[in-house]
């Protein structure tokens, strides 16, 4: 990819420097961008040389920074200020543009760079209150001098790096989009925290549920959108302690009924498949008699990579793993005695309230319990590049900010929609992460989690003393059944949250008899758990496949775990394809359909990269879903919710007479066999269309799926396109078109410390001109991993450890 970028630039450099030194149609100043002495070429040349120096006078004591062959920094400092200062400096050195881009995205400031194109995005981020939540986060963190000191030191380090830069040193994105880095602040750390929380809890369906409920009624809604399907397997199916708890159950208000949820669609929802896999095996389940932990968070695949790997060491701490650029400490990782990894718990922590205004202008007051309440007004200035600023007035209510009203994303009626979100409450997640980094056993780790409010995560844990555990951690509203599933009446105060589930009543499991714990975004607990645990979408297949594999034997090795993380077997296909095939009328086949049918009949249910059966199966399922649920496409907005694949196929196999299965657009009354045959013909024709459009290219799943890892700023030439791998949603290897494992990690906790393997679908550097920008993609494609060296504290005291490159720290 780098050579192609260089070739393109070389071809245009000569005349562009002369002719394009001024912006045309909002494009960058290409002359400066292509200047060989200051522009893009400097990014091609300055390719993150691992022996480059750090120049600063801000350290209190001696410190050292080493790089390994993957550009992973191993940072040693004699005190914590210097450690986190250097973490901020080093992270900015390799990921500065990414950090600032994400902070600006969270704060609703992208229009300052991209102009009118991102105004609606900025409005929504501001109205959702990410900055408001970030400010609350910082206010709360300031109460803890030690933790706020970590943020301050990190911020100082980032700014020390920024202050050394000239234009030629800027990351290429600043040059292309023609702006410059600005000062880093503690608030930006909070903004990135809240952006993560939005990414993992932003896919609520309150409006969609309400619209569908109005369309089909409560009985049909419960049938098509059950909280839990039969055969659903929970992370913790049962715990005898639950029956002993003193539980306060909030009472459902009298005369409660969901309200209209109709509104226009405003996009930017996170991917509903944001999730992950993690599992932990006890020593009794492994070949070497050591506990093993595996983790692969599923997020949007992007360049630069979402994660930045580093080791942080002081005389009192030694921790390594994955950080998120812009946030200090290690988010998931390991130290000498423990390891941990996370998945999304998908618990609902966002509720919507329909506001009743007191006047037609929607400006004076709103009504709660028959009384007038005054708005608190937040005036937001959205600066727009090369245009006048946009002024947006956000009305704050007792529930939270009004996100949708007559001026933005809602129908023009006497109503607005306010958001109650736990991310707006004061919190100090960084204290939790800081203490996890230092924890030496499960008791310390469990205590550290008490400060972690969100996003809701499943923490898998192992320790050297052979403790394995799973904590489902967050600050969860204590809701009455179905509270928050639908839009609620904001004119009634009895719709409010009635406190939170006590921390000690959060779901957790330690050292189960089966010898493993796992989570894959499935339902958190069995029906005996005494609190309401609604989630927007709980996994049904991927988690059960993990259970099957881990239940299948003992003596598991690192190699077995690597194979599991790359498992392409589809339980969804195995449980549903035979049913479909049994309803097919082969007498109506043409030769192409016969070939497709035979391939599916002989398929091994694996979404391997060179297989073509998954293409026909996926298109068949997509066509079937469209044909079965055609009623939902007639909704006056796009804010309707389709039943899931899991529910659809459960109903197909258990209630095939359901009237929804008849297509409304035809006069004939179709039965299940009709729909299955019709959708099969449609699927085969769709595949034939693809072949014609692609010059009869050979059918292979990886080519058809087209997993692309795109640059965060969508810069052409900076992507990694058509990754050659298998997998899909609902499969352990959950790699979709632009979404999937954002890293893979395996940790075996041996007597000598952690033995670690990992890979990211990208690299350590954010510089597209660096060999470390995308150097790990080839291994990721092959399902392979790198062995990672975790160095002891003592190894940093003397000479440079073997295999590392020292980055000298010099005074200005």
Q: Residues comprising the binding site for Ca(2+)?
A: 348, 351
How many residues in total does the chain contain? 812
The answer on pLDDT for 15 being more than 60 is no
Q: Do 152 and 188 touch, CB atoms closer than 8 A?
A: no
Binned at pLDDT 50, 70 and 90, residue 740 comes out as very high
Q: Do 206 and 536 touch, CB atoms closer than 8 A?
A: no
| Predicted pLDDT of residue 657 | 67
**Chain segment 156-215, per-residue pLDDT in tens:** 999 999 999 999 999 999 999 999 999 999 999 999 999 999 988 767 889 889 988 988
| Predicted pLDDT of residue 376 | 93
- Dist CA 682 CA 200 (whole Å): 35
| Predicted pLDDT of residue 3 | 37
C-alpha torsion angle, residues 420, 426, 430, 433 (rounded to 10): -60
The answer on pLDDT for 33 being more than 50 is no
Gap between the terminal Cα atoms of the chain: 36
Burial class (CB in 10 A: 0-12, 13-18, 19+), 190: buried
| Predicted pLDDT of residue 267 | 59
Q: CA 600, 605, 607, 609 torsion: positive or negative?
A: negative
> Nearest-CA neighbor of 615 among 590, 629, 644, 595?
595
Tell me the average pLDDT across 355-366: 84
- Concatenating the DSSP letter of every residue in 195-246 gives HHHHHHH----HHHHHHHHHHH-HHHHHHHS-SS-TT---SB---GGGGGS-
Decide: helix, strand or coil at residue 525: strand
**Chain segment 310-357, per-residue pLDDT in tens:** 999 999 999 999 999 999 999 999 999 999 999 999 999 999 999 999
| Predicted pLDDT of residue 660 | 67
Which of the following is catalytic: 199, 276, 679, 765? Answer: 276
| Predicted pLDDT of residue 477 | 95
The answer on pLDDT for 448 being more than 50 is yes
Active site residue 792: no
Give domain limits for the chain.
Answer: 37-282+293-565+755-812, 571-605+612-699
The answer on pLDDT for 45 being more than 80 is no
| Predicted pLDDT of residue 317 | 97
> Nearest-CA neighbor of 433 among 321, 520, 349?
321
- Name 59's Cβ contacts closer than 8 Å, sequence gap at least 6: 77, 82, 85, 86, 809
Tell me the average pLDDT across 497-520: 96
* Tokens (6 digits) for 449: 């989690």
Tell me the average pLDDT across 516-523: 96
Show the DSSP H helices in 248-299 as ranges.
Answer: none
Q: Do 148 and 140 touch, CB atoms closer than 8 A?
A: no
The reply to whether CATH 3.30.70.940 applies to domain 37-282+293-565+755-812 is no
Burial 4-39 (b: 16+ CB within 10 A, else e): ebeeebeeebeebbeebeeeeeeebbbbbbbbeebb
Which of 184-193, 515-524, 626-635, 771-780 has the weakest average pLDDT?
A: 626-635
Give the global pTM: 0.93
């Amino acid at each position: 990819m780098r050579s192609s970028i260089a070739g393109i630039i070389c071809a245009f450099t000569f005349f562009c420097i002369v002719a394009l030194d001024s912006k045309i149609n909002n494009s960058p100043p290409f002359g400066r961008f292509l200047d060989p002495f200051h522009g893009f070429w400097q990014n091609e040349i300055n390719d993150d040389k691992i022996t480059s120096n750090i120049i600063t006078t801000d350290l209190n004591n001696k410190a050292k920074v080493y790089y390994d062959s993957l550009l992973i920094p191993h940072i040693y400092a004699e005190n914590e200020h210097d450690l986190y200062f250097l973490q901020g400096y080093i992270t900015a050195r390799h990921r500065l543009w990414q950090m600032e881009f994400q902070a600006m995205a969270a704060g609703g400031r992208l229009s300052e760079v991209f102009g009118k194109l991102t105004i609606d995005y900025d409005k929504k981020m501001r109205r959702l209150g990410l900055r408001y939540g970030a400010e609350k986060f910082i206010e709360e963190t300031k109460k803890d001098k030690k933790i706020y000191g970590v943020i301050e030191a990190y911020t100082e380090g980032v700014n020390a790096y920024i202050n050394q830069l000239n234009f030629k040193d800027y990351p290429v994105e600043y040059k292309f989009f023609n702006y410059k880095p600005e000062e880093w602040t503690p608030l930006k750390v909070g903004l990135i925290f809240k952006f993560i929380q939005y990414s993992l809890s932003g896919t609520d369906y309150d409006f969609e549920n309400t619209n569908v409920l109005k369309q089909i009624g409560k009985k049909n809604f419960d049938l098509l959108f059950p909280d839990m399907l039969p055969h659903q397997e929970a992370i913790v199916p049962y715990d005898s302690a639950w029956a002993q708890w003193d539980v306060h159950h909030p009472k459902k208000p009298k005369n409660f009924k969901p309200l209209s949820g109709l509104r226009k669609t405003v996009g930017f929802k996170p991917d509903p498949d944001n999730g992950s896999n993690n599992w932990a095996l006890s020593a009794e389940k492994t070949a070497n008699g050591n506990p093993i932990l595996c983790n692969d968070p599923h997020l949007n695949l992007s360049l630069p990579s979402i994660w930045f790997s580093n080791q942080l060491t002081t005389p009192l701490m030694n921790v390594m793993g994955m950080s998120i650029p812009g946030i200090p400490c290690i988010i998931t990782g390991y130290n000498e005695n423990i390891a941990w990894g996370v998945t999304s718990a998908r618990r609902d922590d966002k509720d919507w309230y329909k506001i009743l205004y007191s006047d037609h202008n929607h400006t004076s007051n709103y009504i709660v319990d028959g009384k007038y309440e005054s708005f608190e007004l937040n005036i937001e200035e959205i600066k727009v590049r090369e245009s006048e600023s946009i002024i947006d007035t956000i009305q704050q209510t007792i529930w939270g900010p009004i996100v949708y009203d007559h001026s933005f994303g809602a129908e023009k009626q006497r109503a607005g929609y306010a958001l109650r979100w736990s991310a707006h409450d004061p919190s100090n997640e960084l204290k939790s992460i800081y203490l996890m980094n230092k924890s030496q056993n499960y008791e310390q780790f469990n205590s550290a989690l008490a400060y972690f409010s969100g996003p809701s995560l499943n923490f898998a844990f192992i320790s050297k003393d052979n403790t394995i555990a799973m904590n489902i951690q967050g600050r969860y509203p204590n809701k009455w059944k179905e509270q928050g599933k639908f839009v609620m009446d904001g004119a009634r105060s009895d719709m409010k949250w009635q406190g939170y589930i006590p921390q000690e009543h959060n779901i957790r499991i330690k050292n189960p008899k089966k010898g493993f714990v796992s989570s894959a975004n499935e339902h958190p607990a069995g029906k005996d758990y005494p609190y309401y645990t609604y989630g927007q979408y709980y996994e049904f297949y991927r988690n059960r496949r993990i259970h099957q594999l881990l239940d299948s034997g003992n003596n598991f090795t690192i190699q077995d775990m690597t194979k599991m993380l790359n498992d392409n077997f589809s339980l969804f296909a195995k449980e549903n394809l035979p049913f479909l095939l049994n309803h097919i009328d082969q007498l109506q086949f043409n030769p192409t359909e016969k070939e497709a049918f035979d391939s599916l009949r002989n398929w091994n249910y694996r979404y391997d990269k060179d297989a073509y059966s998954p293409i026909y199966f996926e298109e068949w399922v997509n066509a079937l879903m469209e044909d079965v649920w055609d009623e939902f496409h007639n909704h006056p907005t796009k804010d309707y919710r389709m039943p899931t694949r899991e529910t659809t196929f459960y109903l197909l196999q258990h209630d095939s007479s359901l009237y929804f299965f008849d297509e409304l657009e035809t006069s004939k009354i179709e039965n299940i066999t009709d729909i299955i045959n019709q959708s099969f013909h449609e699927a085969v024709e769709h595949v034939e269309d693809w072949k014609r459009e692609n010059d009869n290219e050979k059918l292979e799943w990886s080519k058809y799926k087209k997993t692309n890892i795109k640059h965060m700023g969508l810069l052409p030439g900076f992507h990694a396109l058509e990754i050659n791998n298998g997998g899909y949603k609902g499969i352990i290897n959950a790699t979709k078109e632009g979404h999937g494992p954002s890293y893979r990690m395996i940790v075996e906790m041996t007597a000598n410390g952690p033995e670690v393997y990992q890979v990211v679908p990208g690299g350590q550097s954010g510089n597209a001109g660096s060999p470390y920008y995308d150097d790990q993609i080839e291994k990721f494609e092959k399902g392979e991993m790198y062995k990672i060296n975790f160095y002891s504290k003592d190894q940093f005291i003397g000479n440079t450890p073997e295999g590392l490159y020292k980055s000298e720290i010099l005074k200005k």
